[in-house]
Amino acid sequence: MCPDPKVRRIVSKTDFADFNDLRATFRSADYVAPYTVFNIGGNKYRLIVKMEYGYRSAYIRAVLTHAQYDRNKWKE
């Protein structure tokens, strides 16, 4: 279950072809290969997701505070 109901609702109802398509909807999303990073909770948290556009699936890698995200340990 996605921790941000707004993100979950939009992603579940939209067929994104690729990151550029997703970025048109979520302007604050960033691509940090191979993940898509969403700023959520008023930019206090980072939702790190592995998007599988061909399968219309999103796999949550981590939900971190901004400080945890900045430490880059989630990349290991």
- Contact residues for 4 (Cβ-Cβ < 8 A; gap 6+): 38, 40, 41, 47
Contact 59, 22 (CB under 8 A): no
pLDDT in tens, 36-57: 999 988 889 999 999 999 998 8
pLDDT confidence band for 3 (50 / 70 / 90): low
Decide: residue 52, CB within 10 A, 0-12 exposed, 13-18 middle, 19+ buried.
exposed
Q: What is the mean pLDDT of residues 3-19?
A: 80
Q: What is the mean pLDDT of residues 1-27?
A: 81
Q: What does the pLDDT read at residue 47?
A: 92
Q: What is the pTM (predicted TM-score) of this model?
A: 0.82
Q: What does the pLDDT read at residue 12?
A: 77
Contacts of the segment 35-43: beta carbons below 8 A, 24+ positions apart = 35/61, 37/69, 38/4, 38/7, 40/3, 40/4, 40/7, 41/4
